[in-house]
Amino acid sequence: MSAIEVSGLSVSLGGRTVLSDVGLSARDGEWLAVIGPNGAGKSTLLRAMMGLLDARGEVLVDGLPARSLKPRQRARLMAYAPQNPLLPPGLTVLEYALLGRTPYISYLGRDGRHDREVTESVLERLDLAGLARRPLAHLSGGERQRVVLARALVQRAPVLLLDEPTTALDLGHQQQVLELVDRLRLADGLTIVTTVHDLSVAGQYADRVLLIADGRAVASGPVGRVLTEPLLAATFGAHVRVAQGEDGRPLVNLVRPTVPVPSRPAGGPEETGGPEEGDACSP
């Protein structure tokens, strides 16, 4: 049985179908990357899976229909880190991350020692311990992104949906976050579904890839079968080379298209030499 299984998911927004009959499945401990051009419907897919949008179709978590779960039950099974959440500016990093423990705290209760220990350990692992008392309004973009991820990890749910979790992060923090998520996946058997624009990240970390475009699934399968030059060129309209990393996983690199040099009109002005480096030139 898959940890998460989606079938026939369709969403309309503003009178337009933005997701059409999309399906996916990810087993326990599997990492699925959702890729596709801007506006393809990746974030919409994750939000619909979380029940945050009206959608047709079915989402099963651990074999249970997600729409039949109570919010607390669902929050214990699925955690979600959105791309651009609205953050309450007055809360500190620690207070916000502790909200991830809400599904485990009784309605009139307070967070306990275990909740604070779990939260502090996640903050530590995401390099945020030193910012624990800082208000959210006083964070940089990358710090905010790590705090949003921290709250999702603090939730300790077996299925983790991450929407572009590393876009605002510098190289070191990108690697730290991706490695941490991967370690948790291996240690606790977490199932990861993440949208990602960096296709090398998809190639390096995911087991399988779902490629969507215009709200429809275009391809899905093991990374090596989806991250291919013809498929990426056709879907993204980009010139890419797919190389193999040391571990045999695909590395996707942009290559500059070769632009034909325009020929000089016959009888035109004599060649006087091109502009010197650093010269301003009009198009």
Binding region for ligand ATP (CB under 6 A): 13-14, 18, 36, 38-44
Minimum CB separation from ligand ATP for residue 21, in Å? 15
Minimum CB separation from ligand ATP for residue 13, in Å? 4
Minimum CB separation from ligand ATP for residue 81, in Å? 14
Contact between residue 162 and residue 192 where contact means Cβ atoms under 8 Å apart: yes
How far apart (Å, rounded) are the C-alpha atoms in residues 167 and 134?
Answer: 22
Residue 79 vs 212, nearer CB to ligand ATP: 212
Size of the chain, expressed as the number of residues it contains: 283
Kind and range of the H or E element at 231? helix 229-236
Minimum CB separation from ligand ATP for residue 20, in Å? 11
**Number of neighbouring beta carbons within 10 Å of residue 121:** 13
How far apart (Å, rounded) are the C-alpha atoms in residues 46 and 42?
Answer: 7
Residue 38 vs 68, nearer CB to ligand ATP: 38
Pairing of the two strands 64-65 and 56-61: antiparallel
Residue 60 vs 213, nearer CB to ligand ATP: 213
Kind and range of the H or E element at 35? strand 31-35
Minimum CB separation from ligand ATP for residue 231, in Å? 17
Residue 48 vs 77, nearer CB to ligand ATP: 48
Minimum CB separation from ligand ATP for residue 69, in Å? 23
Signed CA dihedral, 136, 142, 145, 150: sign only: negative
Pairing of the two strands 31-35 and 191-195: parallel
Residue 42 vs 144, nearer CB to ligand ATP: 42
Residue 35 vs 94, nearer CB to ligand ATP: 35
Residue 44 vs 155, nearer CB to ligand ATP: 44
Query: Which residues are 195's β-sheet partners?
Result: 34, 163
Instruction: Return the ∠ at Cα 169 (arms to 162 and 46), rounded to 5°.
Output: 15
Minimum CB separation from ligand ATP for residue 141, in Å? 15
Rg for the chain (alpha carbons), in Å?
Answer: 22
How far apart (Å, rounded) are the C-alpha atoms in residues 18 and 20?
Answer: 7
